[in-house]
């Protein structure tokens, strides 16, 4: 293994753009990467913001035009953290230019765009990863490993809840996210996250029966077009039954992604608001001492140990992105990697579209196989 | 208010029969009832068991025939804790004999029987209460009061989960509860409990979309006819959206009834496994100190103080039945009472039947108004 | 085993007197006692209150003089729930009259009185039990059994905290409990409870180093004479190290008795505010799934099943007194019983006196062996 | 504010050395520092390890001799993360060379060395910060702000517990940390951490009464010289009473630093194992809805927002070091900074030495003012 480098470009420097930048700065020191990232070129909507962010984030070049990043021959991989409507154009251009792509979720705001991205990637032979960082949590990875090892037996039922409260205030002004142009609402904004976890823990969804609701019909006199709440019955391809609910108007919930997976020999539960622990019940052992155990993440749960050698000391949200970067680098080097590629990402988004159709047609809808 | 007594009859001495007996023994000392119960007459399937249970439970007379209890002129109110298929005949006979009835849930194993019971009660002018003891928890009563006081604003979303694990073991033998004669499965065995709570906190259900699942198709070579898991989308008459799930095969869950009620100004959550506390979030106050508060039940939450004058000391499952007895006595005395009468009980069971039909027909089903 | 009865007398009908009354009403129905209690005679400070409480609690006779209860030949066992300064005289009179005694803790307000009670009991051959009901919790009993079975290895360290907040308000008026006549303060009012648990889980204390503190020096201009906070280092006779803290001024704590017991192979933790569960960690098994398990009490933890046949349904504070009554009846019948007798109770109170002396003398003090 | 840089040297690349490296890599992108760190020079025990770590951590130069780092004119600030016995020599040399120092705790293995470091720093006019990263947690900072704002009134009682289990296994081999050369044991290894938090929340300790214990007297036939458990009574300079316990042999505890601060108007509690939340009780408001609220950290709690703009998403252990680096840079720029300087660090270590003396002499010991 040679000690080469890899050139990084970044488009967008908001919430997730900064998160990518932090990950690119941290991944080599954390994992001792064989390929150390060089922070080559960053783009923002205007040159002045780009300059200032490049300085903060440690990128060598800055442009007010994202095409400059993609055209830069020193850039090998492009982080796309621009607003969702731009993802398709940027990603397709990047693949055409022979770059690898690390794109924030969702892939696109339309199925056609997403499909176009998937095809562009397939034709390019380049690696693509979507920003489903929650699955990188050592807790989630450990839960997945335990399920695969049969520790809770055959999974027969799942429950997924994602809740935040940034849309909970009925007196808040009308914003972009209340308009139809932003998508369905909680369904695409939130549901994709628990679905990405579900995919790892229990596999794909086969059919859905969904209901969407608006807690507040209007804001500032304008009709709210999105649904802040989505509830869905699920049937998984495995036959397991399930529930998913997403709510952007859930007062008091700040970053809740609650997962319960029930099997024939035990149960696993998790809540993203306490991301450094999970709950495990197995039926074995003395009946008098059975109970859900709270497992704190630890070096025993890879790749926790790359961050802290002591157990129970806690990773943070941004650390998950560092793990994602590490996995992406592995994929680029042709090693096995734990990423959500465009194929899986597309399937997740297809599931969300099926949910929206189910709501409209008030019936069970099958998800594309 | 005179210091009279009221004659009590009890039919059935199993799990719930004993629970009734404990309540009848405790209610006067707990609440200082104006009408002190006299434990008059108890019936069991055979005379010898009846004799022994009468001695244990403190009843004066014992019979091997339940009709003797109903015929006893000293009996004013009859506790019916016999197997569900007998409820209808016993209750109707009791009303005909002019007795008040305290009947365990569900009312009956068929809609026709339940309707017959409801009509018999209406014609009799006697009081009827169903054994939905969970709603008597001071925690639940406080949650209801807070919601009615507008503390969490307008309720727009609810989630209800009821989980136990007595059907979780795939290797357990085939039992009565696995056969169709026992009912639908989790739907009628469990779902009625969270529904009784929902009725108090957020009102009746208007339509349901339900899916039932069998984690284990057979036991001991026999086909399992019931569904251990039921998942349901709900729409409430208020317009609120909701979810209900009931699972008798949820490893590790022992007596979980998890309730989440979301409103325009806050959220309330509860879990029956920690029955002496509830969680409350309200949007008011300093943003830096907002959070779900864990409220321990206390004398401030009536009727907790009838049991213990100190806060945070804890009531138990059986105490809820004592409260139920107290409420029943109030109803008999013509005072306002917090009971699930046959009308509400019938509506709850109608909702469950609508859920079963929804499952069969794979469509949304309206609940009778 | 004959089906006889036992005559019960009760002195005092306040918080704990009512608790005794509830227990005497419930114990036969709960446990199917061979000896069914007859509620014979109750005493209160005046006849009218006695009459009214006798009716509520179901006692046949009522007196305004406690000596009438002790003189009553139908009374076999006397519940003493009068104010602490009266315990000694009542208990000694009861033993002299050949009664068994169930006395609320503490035994007495002075060491001499307590010693006199112990000697009176020894001379009488009658049974005496102190009202340390917390140790009757099936959770505590299970913890004790697990420790005795070696599940956490050799105990090497313990921590005990008891906290409530009824003395937390600096603006509250001066009350009896703020005066020296009421005792030391948190030390005798609270510390005896965790000590009673410690005795069961890890054995007696051998030496103490204690500090007492007054959060508020005066109330209503009067000097507060008691200490609301007591902190103590402990060494147990086993050699284990430990800590005990008692605080009557701990805002937000309502009935907290937090116990942590550390051993060479695991740890057990408990909090009375969640009295239906305990936490257990053992070092065995796969490192990836180790964690504290939350064990919900269940029929597997005797005598939980006497109350509810289903796990995780919860006992309450008053149920612990029912168990205590059951154990007392066993002791009276000469069967093995789990009670805090006067000998152990005296040792517990001696430990508290040693703590007070340690505070005064600012040095480690040995407890009498 | 000019956009200059600052040259960084690092000595040591183990657990904490890597943690420093991660912080130096992340701090500019996280906080948009005016002074961007340049990673200049790294030292390890041998050149080959230094080379490899420099590549991983992104340092330009690598040396097998730490003096080369201190002699490097491009280095402005030196991170000292070498074993504790070397701290004094390195720090004094750094100050002499005019460098700022960021030194891991404890300052030194002897009081004389620590005092020498303090004097060297004072004479140099350079900034010194100790690696007490736990106090940088936005949760702790918020707790401190609330206490200073009087939200819980006057602090009258504190409890501090620090527990891990890496010394819990009695069958583990004898290691360096079991020998007297490593220090007292839990007292200096652990107690300094909760003390650093205590200093922020409630101020300095005035006197201590301490007991140390050895759960296992020997390992592999060798006498264990350290004490894995230390328990201590505290009196704070404010007059508040307190308890501190540190235990390296607490099975199941992984990174527990449990803090309880009681005041005249409320209580605050925290556990490092759930580092993204704290508990707050205040006496105000409706009695029916009082309870400990679980506050999740959020952008409202600076500097959380520098990491994630959304609440409840969670920081990790390593993020605390990034905050520490940010504060150090502020101090170097002469701005107000929240660091543990050598003066406070020395006072914390003096408190620990007082504890050890108290144990030896079995008496209360005053801490130097």
Helix (H, G, I), strand (E, B) or coil at D16: helix
- Per the omega criterion (within 30 degrees of 0), is the bond before A106 cis? yes
Residue D165: C-alpha distances to residues C194, C282, C361, D259 (Å): 25, 12, 36, 18
- Residue D206 forms part of a structural domain: yes
pLDDT of residue B368: 85
Count CA atoms closer than 13 A to B139's CA, side-chain side: 32
Residue A193: C-alpha distances to residues A102, A200, A345 (Å): 16, 11, 11
- Residue A333 forms part of a structural domain: no
Contact B264/A at CB under 8 A = yes
C312 in the Ramachandran plot: left (φ > 0), alpha (ψ -120 to 50) or beta?
A: left
Question: Of the residues A115, A133, A151, which one is the last residue of a structural domain?
Answer: A133
pLDDT of residue B34: 85
Question: From CA D364, how far away is CA D355, in angstroms rounded?
Answer: 9
Question: From CA B46, how far away is CA B44, in angstroms rounded?
Answer: 5
Q: Where are the beta strands (DSSP E) in chain D?
A: 5-11, 36-43, 61-63, 77-80, 100-103, 128-130, 155-163, 205-213, 218-219, 222-223, 229-236, 241-247, 256-263, 266-271, 277-282, 292-296, 365-366
- Per the omega criterion (within 30 degrees of 0), is the bond before C106 cis? yes
| pLDDT tens figures, C43-81 | 999 999 999 999 999 999 999 999 999 999 999 999 999
Q: What is the mean pLDDT of residues B246-265?
A: 98
Contact D281/C at CB under 8 A = yes
Query: Do B212 and B246 meet the contact criterion of CB atoms below 8 Å apart?
Result: no
Residue A368 binned pLDDT confidence (cut-offs 50, 70, 90): confident
Q: Which residue has the tokens 């007495």?
A: C108
**Do C101 and C153 fall within a single domain?**
no
pLDDT of residue B288: 95
Say if the Cβ atoms of A273 and D253 lie within 8 Å: no
SS (H, E, C) A227-268: ECEEEEEEEECCCCEEEEEEECCCCCCCCEEEEEEEECCEEE
Return the closest-CA partner of residue D49 out of A26, A23, A32.
A32
Q: Which residue has the tokens 């119960």?
A: B37
| pLDDT tens figures, A323-352 | 999 999 999 999 999 999 999 999 999 999
**Do A239 and A118 fall within a single domain?**
no
Contact D298/B at CB under 8 A = yes
pLDDT of residue D2: 47
Question: From CA D192, how far away is CA D227, in angstroms rounded?
Answer: 15
Is residue B2 scored above 80 in pLDDT? no
Query: Do C261 and C158 meet the contact criterion of CB atoms below 8 Å apart?
Result: yes
Helix (H, G, I), strand (E, B) or coil at A318: helix
**Do D126 and D150 fall within a single domain?**
no
Q: What is the side-by-side order of every strand in the sheet holding D100-103?
A: D61-63, D36-43, D5-11, D77-80, D100-103, D128-130
Q: What is the mean pLDDT of residues A152-175?
A: 98
Question: Of the residues B133, B148, B167, which one is the last residue of a structural domain?
Answer: B133
Chain A: residue whose CA lies nearest to C138: A288
Taking residue D343's Cβ as centre, other Cβ atoms within 10 Å add up to: 12
**Do C127 and C198 fall within a single domain?**
no
**Do B146 and B286 fall within a single domain?**
yes
Question: From CA D186, how far away is CA D226, in angstroms rounded?
Answer: 8
pLDDT of residue D320: 98
The two beta strands, B100-103 and B128-130, are parallel
For C23, which DSSP code?
H
pLDDT of residue B195: 98
Return the closest-CA partner of residue D328 out of D33, D2, D1.
D33
Q: What is the CATH number of the domain that holds A356?
A: 3.30.360.10
Which of D56, D166, D317 is closest, CB to CB, to A32? Answer: D56
Question: From CA D264, how far away is CA C214, in angstroms rounded?
Answer: 11
Question: From CA B169, how far away is CA A34, in angstroms rounded?
Answer: 48
Contact B292/A at CB under 8 A = yes
**Do B74 and B35 fall within a single domain?**
yes
- Min mean pLDDT across A117-121, B180-184, B300-304 is at B180-184
Taking residue D181's Cβ as centre, other Cβ atoms within 10 Å add up to: 11
Distant-in-sequence, close-in-space partners of B245: CB < 8 Å, separation ≥ 6: A159, A243, B160, B161, B162, B163, B229, B230, B231, B232
SS (H, E, C) D298-365: CCCCCCHHHCCCCCCCCCCHHHHHHHHHHHHHHHHCCCCCCCECHHHHHHHHHHHHHHHHHHHHCCCE
Residue A181: C-alpha distances to residues A109, A130, A178, A333, A359 (Å): 9, 22, 9, 38, 18
Is residue C1 scored above 50 in pLDDT? no
Query: Do B106 and B349 meet the contact criterion of CB atoms below 8 Å apart?
Result: yes
Which of C142, C282, C289 is closest, CB to CB, to A280? Answer: C289
Is residue A55 scored above 70 in pLDDT? yes
pLDDT of residue B128: 98
Q: Which range marks the domain in which residue C60 is found?
A: 5-133
C-alpha of B325 from chain center: 13
Contact A287/C at CB under 8 A = yes
Helix (H, G, I), strand (E, B) or coil at C196: helix
Is residue C258 scored above 70 in pLDDT? yes
Question: How many angstroms separate the CA of residue B98 from the nearest CA in chain D?
Answer: 41
Question: What would the two tokens of residue D314 be?
Answer: 């969670």
Give the mutation candidate from B30, B162, B312 for the C interface (greatest C CB count, under 10 A): B312
- Residue B332 forms part of a structural domain: no
**Do C62 and C181 fall within a single domain?**
no
Question: What would the two tokens of residue C119 be?
Answer: 């000697």
| pLDDT tens figures, C5-35 | 999 999 999 999 999 999 999 999 999 998 8
Chain A: residue whose CA lies nearest to D272: A313
| pLDDT tens figures, B343-354 | 999 999 999 999
Return the closest-CA partner of residue A294 out of C265, D279, B252.
B252
- Per the omega criterion (within 30 degrees of 0), is the bond before B106 cis? yes
> Which residues does chain C have within 8 Å of residue B27's beta carbon, measured at their own beta carbons?
none
- Residue A328 forms part of a structural domain: no
| pLDDT tens figures, A253-266 | 999 999 999 999 99
Helix (H, G, I), strand (E, B) or coil at B206: strand
| pLDDT tens figures, B62-104 | 999 999 999 999 999 999 999 999 999 999 999 999 999 999 9
pLDDT of residue D37: 97
Residue C146: C-alpha distances to residues A223, A286, C155, C264, C369 (Å): 62, 11, 12, 13, 26
Question: How many angstroms separate the CA of residue A1 from the nearest CA in chain C?
Answer: 30
| pLDDT tens figures, D215-269 | 999 999 999 999 999 999 999 999 999 999 999 999 999 999 999 999 999 999 9
Q: What is the mean pLDDT of chain C?
A: 97
- Residue D155 forms part of a structural domain: yes
Is residue B1 scored above 60 in pLDDT? no
Question: From CA B107, how far away is CA B132, in angstroms rounded?
Answer: 11
- Residue C14 forms part of a structural domain: yes
Q: What is the mean pLDDT of residues C194-223?
A: 98
| pLDDT tens figures, B39-68 | 999 999 999 999 999 999 999 999 999 999
Which of A209, A213, A249 is closest, CB to CB, to B209? Answer: A209
**Do A77 and A58 fall within a single domain?**
yes
Is residue B251 scored above 60 in pLDDT? yes
> Which residues does chain C have within 8 Å of residue D362's beta carbon, measured at their own beta carbons?
363-364
- Residue B145 forms part of a structural domain: yes
pLDDT of residue A76: 98
Backbone angles phi, psi at C47, to 5 degrees: -60, -40
**Do A348 and A205 fall within a single domain?**
yes
Chain D: residue whose CA lies nearest to B312: D291
Residue C3 binned pLDDT confidence (cut-offs 50, 70, 90): low
Q: What is the count of structural domains for chain D? A: 2
Contact C233/D at CB under 8 A = yes
The two beta strands, D277-282 and D292-296, are antiparallel
Exposure string of C77-90, with b = 16+ CB inside 10 Å and e = fewer, is bbbbbbebeebbbb
- Residue B105 forms part of a structural domain: yes
Q: ipTM value of the model?
A: 0.96
Helix (H, G, I), strand (E, B) or coil at B73: coil
Exposure string of C153-167, with b = 16+ CB inside 10 Å and e = fewer, is bbbbbbbbbbbbbeb
Say if the Cβ atoms of B300 and D287 lie within 8 Å: yes
How many residues are there in chain D? 369
**Do D114 and D156 fall within a single domain?**
no
Question: How many angstroms separate the CA of residue C321 from the nearest CA in chain A?
Answer: 23
- Contact map slice: C 1-60 vs B, CB within 8 A: 3, 15, 18-19, 21-22, 25-26, 28-30, 32-33, 36, 52, 55-58
| pLDDT tens figures, C320-362 | 999 999 999 999 999 999 999 999 999 999 999 999 999 999 9
**Do D153 and D247 fall within a single domain?**
yes
pLDDT of residue C2: 47
**Do D118 and D203 fall within a single domain?**
no
Question: What would the two tokens of residue B3 be?
Answer: 């210091």
Question: From CA A198, how far away is CA A257, in angstroms rounded?
Answer: 11
Q: What is the CATH number of the domain that holds D66?
A: 3.40.50.720
Say if the Cβ atoms of C252 and D242 lie within 8 Å: no
Question: From CA B233, how far away is CA B162, in angstroms rounded?
Answer: 15
Query: Do C302 and C138 meet the contact criterion of CB atoms below 8 Å apart?
Result: yes
Query: Do B257 and B171 meet the contact criterion of CB atoms below 8 Å apart?
Result: no
Is residue C257 scored above 50 in pLDDT? yes
Question: Of the residues C79, C99, C133, which one is the last residue of a structural domain?
Answer: C133
Mean pLDDT by 10 residues, chain D (369 residues): 81 97 98 94 97 97 98 98 96 98 94 96 97 98 98 98 98 96 94 98 98 98 98 98 98 98 98 98 94 98 97 97 98 96 97 98 94
Task: Calculate what percentage of chain A has a pLDDT beyond 70.
Answer: 99
């Amino acid at each position: 293994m040679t000690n080469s480098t890899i050139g990084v470009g970044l488009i967008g420097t908001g919430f997730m753009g900064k998160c990518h930048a932090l990950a690119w700065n941290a991944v080599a020191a954390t994992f001792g990467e064989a390929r150390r990232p060089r922070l080559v070129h960053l783009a923002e909507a205007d040159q002045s913001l780009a300059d200032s962010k490049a300085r903060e984030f440690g990128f060598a070049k800055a442009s007010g035009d994202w095409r400059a990043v993609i055209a830069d021959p020193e850039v090998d991989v492009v982080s796309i953290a621009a607003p969702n409507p731009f993802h398709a154009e940027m990603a397709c251009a990047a693949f055409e230019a022979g770059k690898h792509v690390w794109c924030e979720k969702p892939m696109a705001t339309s199925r056609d765009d997403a499909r176009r991205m998937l095809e562009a990637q397939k034709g390019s032979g380049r690696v693509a990863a979507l920003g489903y960082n929650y699955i990188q949590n050592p807790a989630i990875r450990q839960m997945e490993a335990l399920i695969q090892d049969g520790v809770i037996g055959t999974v027969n039922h799942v429950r997924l809840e994602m809740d935040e409260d940034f849309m909970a205030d009925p007196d808040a002004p009308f914003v972009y996210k209340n308009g139809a142009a932003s998508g369905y609402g909680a369904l695409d904004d939130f549901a994709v996250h628990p679905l990405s976890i579900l995919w790892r823990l229990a596999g794909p969804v086969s059919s859905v029966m969904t209901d969407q609701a608006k807690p507040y019909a209007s804001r500032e006199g304008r009709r709210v077009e999105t649904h802040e709440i989505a509830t869905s019955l699920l049937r998984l391809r495995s036959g397991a039954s399930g529930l998913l609910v997403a709510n952007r108007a859930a007062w008091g919930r700040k970053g809740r992604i609650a997962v319960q997976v029930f099997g024939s020999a035990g149960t696993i539960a998790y809540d993203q608001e306490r991301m450094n622990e999970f709950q495990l019940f197995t039926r074995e052992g003395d009946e008098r001492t059975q109970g859900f155990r709270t497992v704190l993440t630890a070096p025993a749960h890879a790749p926790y140990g790359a961050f802290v050698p002591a157990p129970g000391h806690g990773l943070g949200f941004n650390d998950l992105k560092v793990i994602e970067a590490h996995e992406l680098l592995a994929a680029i080097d042709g090693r096995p990697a734990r990423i959500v590629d465009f194929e899986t990402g597309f399937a997740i988004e297809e599931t969300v579209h099926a949910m929206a159709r189910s709501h409209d047609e008030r019936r069970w809808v099958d998800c594309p196989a």
